[in-house]
Structure formats: C-alpha cells, structure tokens
C-alpha cells in the first residue's frame, strides 16, 4: 500500500517539476525578448548616435540643455547654448532620443508655419 502511494507521489512530482521547468524557461525567454533585447538595441543606437556627432550638430542633453556642438574632444563636447555661453558636457550626456524628437518636432512646426 505504501509503495503505491510513494510511486504515485514520485510520478506526479516528476511531471510537475517538468512543467515548472518549462514555465520558468518560458518566462526567461519572454523576459529576454521584451526586456533585455530592446535595451541592447537602444544602447547600440545611442552609441552609434554619439559616434556620428560632429561640430555644428544641434543636440539635447539628458538634462534638457539644448545647444550646438562647437568643439569635441575624446570624451567631452562643448555646447554653445546661447551667444558666447559655452558649456562642457560628457558625450554620454547627449541624448539621441531627445535630440531626434525635439528637432523632428521643430521641423514639423516650421513646415506648418510655411504652409499657412
């Protein structure tokens, strides 16, 4: 009698263990495709944007400062934020998303003004 109960317990726990393992594996796969992979893609795009920066580019920093690049060094850039006002920032402080979004909106606003 006890042998049947133990045998039945072993069989059901083996199946449950496999189901739990598949569930955890599925969660890891979903986590990778919805969290890790998009973050890596954004980091690559941000790095590519920073490498494409050149003197004369208009950018927005992660702190919201708007300006034009007037000089660049290895790790820093100098932005002209107003006439004769120059600020030095780390290249990592330049936001690709904010820069693209702001200047895309600005060009749309110009098109609206011209068309009216």
Q: Write out pLDDT tens, residues 30-62.
A: 989 899 999 999 889 888 888 888 898 889 998
The pLDDT of residue 106 is: 67
Rg (CA), the chain: 27
Q: Is the dihedral of CA 43, 108, 52, 83 positive or negative?
A: negative
pLDDT, position 81: 92
The arrangement of strands across the sheet holding 66-72 comes to: 58-60, 66-72, 76-82, 85-90
35 phi, psi to nearest 5 deg: -120, -55
Residue-wise pLDDT for 61-73, tens only, equals 988 899 999 999 9
Torsion of CA 105, 83, 49, 61, to 10 degrees: -80
User: Cα–Cα distance between 57 and 90 in angstroms, integer?
Assistant: 15
Q: Count Cα atoms within 13 angstroms, Cβ side, for 39.
A: 6
**C-alpha–C-alpha distance, residues 98 and 116, integer Å:** 27
Reading the block at residue 85, the tokens are: 């006002």
pLDDT of residue 41: 92
Specify the pLDDT at position 113.
62
pLDDT at 14: 55
């Amino acid at each position: 009698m006890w042998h049947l109960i133990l045998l039945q317990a072993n069989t059901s726990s083996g199946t449950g263990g496999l189901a739990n393992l598949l569930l955890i594996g599925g969660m890891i796969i979903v986590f990778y495709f919805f969290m890790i992979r998009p973050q890596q893609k954004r980091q690559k795009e941000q790095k590519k944007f920073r490498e494409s920066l050149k003197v004369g580019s208009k950018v927005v920093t992660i702190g919201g400062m708007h300006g034009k690049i007037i000089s660049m060094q290895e790790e820093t850039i100098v932005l002209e934020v107003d006439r004769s006002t120059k600020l030095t920032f780390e290249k990592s402080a330049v936001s690709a998303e904010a820069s693209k979004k702001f200047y895309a909106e600005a060009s749309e606003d110009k098109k609206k003004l011209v068309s009216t």
